[in-house]
Amino acid sequence: MRWAQTGHDIIIGSRDAARAHDRAVTMRERTKKLTIVGKDNVEAAAMGDVVVIALPANGLAATLPPAREACRGKVVISTVVPLTFGGARLFTPPPAGSSAEEIQALLPDAKVVAAFHHIAAHELAETEHDIECDLLMCGADVAAKAVVTELGTSMGLRVVDVGPLSNAGPLEAITAVLATINRRYKLKNSGIKITGLPS
Amino acid sequence: MRWAQTGHDIIIGSRDAARAHDRAVTMRERTKKLTIVGKDNVEAAAMGDVVVIALPANGLAATLPPAREACRGKVVISTVVPLTFGGARLFTPPPAGSSAEEIQALLPDAKVVAAFHHIAAHELAETEHDIECDLLMCGADVAAKAVVTELGTSMGLRVVDVGPLSNAGPLEAITAVLATINRRYKLKNSGIKITGLPS
């Protein structure tokens, strides 16, 4: 919703193109922006300049391989967090070290950047207020991180570069911290800010 | 240094009691507080009401077992972060899930609380300025977390309860984020603040 408001074209992807289309219609009505469409996942990936992956962590291996060619050479943003609710441990990194690194292995020709894990979904859906959270990102490709920086800045976020994609596990882990704080303090939008950075 | 300044008695522990004694002498001179002494690790643990573990992550299994009885029933604060500098990945959780959980397994009769990972050492050594960082803690024992809350508050920190000890991995992981930011932005004291909490 925030990207639509700032003038980006939006392609919603889903396993079910009809569901993606319905969601796009709803977003068009809410934003009064016409350039929002819904497609099946592979077609959405093929149409996009930047691909944002917001899937459950356990669905990556089943969903991504058909989109490999569609993602070739593109900036792919992983927002995925491997959390397990109701078990003994909320966060356990996957064997790849992080969901972002798993995505990079499944889409070897993409430029994966891990980011947006800590911005609550409803903060992205409501566009009237400022988001009180830094955007932490990591990835191997400097140009890809510049694109993500622009996308974050366009919604008013301060963007902090947290180095290589091997730091994605710690970024994903922070979501477990925020989810626990939300539950314990009865919040829905705790976030984090880095202190000590030059302003 | 900050605890000494606020009136706590301090016992420095070391494998080498003479080194601990020398450090205690230096701290007594700097703080003008007489109740700072140095002992070997097990004696220090036996004397303390609260035990703070600030060891390298790979030294826990060798160092802690002799202190098991000395730590029985006590609040044991783990500040340990399992970071690997110079390798492919800065943070990899140990098999126990976190260093704090490894400590709990080595000291089964202690009340382990994970905390203070994000407060830079030099922030604790210099006592003149406020520390711009929240104290995130987790652990199983509510009374032990109340003690840690008091110890954090006594040095001016806001304390945030991040639930059970199984969240210690994410807290330890945040140190990798801050270490990377320090290096990348040429800082020595980046920290984090949780946003969205009632003030």
User: A83 to chain B, minimum CA–CA distance in Å?
Assistant: 11
The lowest-confidence range among A166-170, B108-112, B186-190 is B186-190
**Alpha-carbon span B122 to A180, nearest angstrom:** 29
pLDDT (average), residues A46-59: 97
Q: What is the pLDDT of residue B199?
A: 72
Each residue's pLDDT tens digit, A7-34: 999 999 999 999 999 999 999 999 888 8
The listed range with the strongest mean pLDDT (A124-128, B5-9, B68-72) is B68-72
Cross-chain Cβ contact B92/A88 below 8 Å: no
Nearest to B196 among A97, A177, A189 (CB): A189
Confidence of residue A124 (pLDDT cuts 50, 70, 90): confident
pLDDT (average), residues A157-176: 98
**Alpha-carbon span B148 to B6, nearest angstrom:** 15
User: A178 to chain B, minimum CA–CA distance in Å?
Assistant: 8
Q: What is the pLDDT of residue B171?
A: 98
Q: Are A22 and A48 in contact (CB under 8 A)?
A: no
Lookup: tokens for A81: 């967090």
DSSP secondary structure, A134-194, as one string: -EEEEES-HHHHHHHHHHHHTTT--EEE--SGGGHHHHHHHHHHHHHHHHHTT-S--EEEE
Cross-chain Cβ contact A170/B174 below 8 Å: yes
Residue from A166, A175, A189 whose CB has the most chain B CBs within 10 Å, to mutate: A166
Q: How far is CA B45 from the centre of its chain?
A: 14
Beta bridge partners of residue A36, listed in sequence order? A10
Q: What is the pLDDT of residue A63?
A: 96
pLDDT (average), residues B19-40: 94
- Please tell me which residue of chain A has the smallest CA distance to B134: A195
Q: What is the pLDDT of residue A123?
A: 87
Chain B partners within 8 Å of A193 (Cβ): 192-193, 195
**Alpha-carbon span B100 to B123, nearest angstrom:** 22
Beta bridge partners of residue B11, listed in sequence order? B37
How much is the ipTM here?
0.94
Q: Are A108 and A167 in contact (CB under 8 A)?
A: no
Chains A, B: CB contacts under 8 A, how many?
117
Nearest to A162 among B180, B187, B195 (CB): B180
| Residue spans of alpha helices (H) in B6-156 | 17-31, 41-47, 60-63, 99-106, 121-125, 142-153
Each residue's pLDDT tens digit, B131-154: 999 999 999 999 999 999 999 999
Nearest to A132 among B162, B183, B195 (CB): B195
pLDDT (average), residues B53-72: 97
DSSP 3-state of B90: coil
Chain A partners within 8 Å of B161 (Cβ): 184
pLDDT (average), residues B142-168: 97
Q: What is the pLDDT of residue B157?
A: 96
Chain B partners within 8 Å of A171 (Cβ): 177
Q: What is the pLDDT of residue A148?
A: 98
User: B178 to chain A, minimum CA–CA distance in Å?
Assistant: 8
Q: What is the pLDDT of residue A85?
A: 92
- Higher local confidence (pLDDT), A65 or B87: A65
Each residue's pLDDT tens digit, A134-151: 999 999 999 999 999 999
Average pLDDT, chain A: 95
